[in-house]
Amino acid sequence: MQLLDDNRKQNLAGRLDRPLAIGSKTVANRLWLAPLAGLGNVAFREVLDGYGGCGLMFTEMCGAKSVPTESPLVSPVFRWREAELPRLVCQVAGATPEQMVPAARRVQDCGFFGFDINMGCSVSGIVKKNAGAALLKDPNQAVRVVEAVRKAISIPLFIKFRTGWTPDIEPAVALARRFEDAGADCLVFHPRMAPDKRTRPPVREHIKAVADAVSISVFGNGDVVTPADCLDMLETTGCAGVSVGRMAIARPWLFAEWTAGHTPAETCFRDYALRLADALDRHFDPVRALKRYRLFTIYFAANFLFGHSLQSRFLKAKNMDEIRDVIREHIQPDLQLVKRPNLSMYNI
């Protein structure tokens, strides 16, 4: 893995470990967990919290139509711990002001730090409903949604969005300005086209174009794997901070490592795998816990030289006890790590 010398480590920590005002509230630092469907669940966030260093966490994607009446006692996605609410943003996907406003009001009433409008998801089921990245095809509708939500709530308003449906950055820059004018407090920008399933690298210069166009905070997102990647994004784009997704699942201690110089223990991978198994058991029924764990193994196994073999062992497990057997038997300190986690294993 690409390493930083001590001076650059301090430079990175100095850039990240600074408070940031978002609307009427303040975030402790500038390294955040990106919203991750199926992965950023309440159990994972509990484990992540135990490592520290994450300035702001985002829920996995919730549906605007469901949120107003959904019970956190039974919902697999609209669920949280009371202790995390002061640092938790709820991400919601919806197509119209009529859908989004009741959801935003419910999120505010529940005590979340903020509300995040998803304009980045390009999964066909979301796009067919004219939500997620589909809103980028209709900038006027996207702005109407932001304006309506802003009028309905006072908590910080975030927007996660992509370049759009063409490689041209100008529409995204123009939309960023309109989002600011409509009342958004922070933009999280992923510089890829909406149809791109990570087959091409993100265009870092596009983050700079968006950040230069507005006065509100812009966070960069996309393929931040190493601390060197993170520092490069901060130095070259002028973004206010960095939002980390898949690597947060692979190595959740990176937040404490990059912001405060934390050194993970020799047994960190084994301990993490067991902690997550226990947390999933606490928060979900056995069937859902096993499904969530299997999804996690894609990212966890990418850390290791023979990751595909390790993942296959996890996928053969029929319950969480068998998952723990795999961990205890196969996750040892001498398991060989790859220099850079194998992104080709990531399939979502």
Q: Are strands 25-27 and 62-63 parallel, antiparallel or unpaired?
A: unpaired
CB half-sphere exposure, 257, CA atoms < 13 A? 18
Output the CA torsion sign for 245, 247, 253, 258. Answer: negative
Summarised one tens digit per residue, pLDDT across range 237-252 is: 999 999 999 999 999 9
Q: What is the pLDDT of residue 334?
A: 86
Q: What is the pLDDT of residue 348?
A: 36
| DSSP output for 194-224 | TT--SSS---HHHHHHHHHH-SSEEEEES--
As a whole number of angstroms, the distance between CA 316 and CA 60 comes to 26
As a whole number of angstroms, the distance between CA 309 and CA 323 comes to 14
Quick check: 208 pLDDT over 70? Answer: yes
Q: What is the pLDDT of residue 261?
A: 92
Q: pLDDT grade, residue 2 (50/70/90)?
A: low
Q: How far is CA 33 from CA 1, 45, 150, in A?
A: 21, 9, 23
Mean pLDDT of 271-280: 98
Quick check: 198 pLDDT over 90? Answer: no
Q: How far is CA 87 from CA 28, 241, 252, 280, in A?
A: 9, 16, 16, 21
Quick check: 141 pLDDT over 50? Answer: yes
Query: Which sequence spans correspond to the domains of the chain?
Result: 6-260, 268-345
Residue 217 near residue 23, CB atoms below 8 Å: no
Pairwise pLDDT comparison (345 vs 218), residue with the higher score: 218
Q: pLDDT grade, residue 344 (50/70/90)?
A: low
Burial category of 141 from C-beta neighbours within 10 Å (exposed 0-12, middle 13-18, buried 19 and up): middle
Residues recognised as catalytic: 121
Quick check: 106 pLDDT over 50? Answer: yes
Q: What is the pLDDT of residue 6?
A: 87
Quick check: 37 pLDDT over 50? Answer: yes
Residue 311 near residue 345, CB atoms below 8 Å: yes
pTM: 0.95
Mean pLDDT of 202-221: 97
Instruction: Give the domain 6-260 fold.
Output: TIM Barrel (3.20.20)
Residue 94 near residue 100, CB atoms below 8 Å: yes
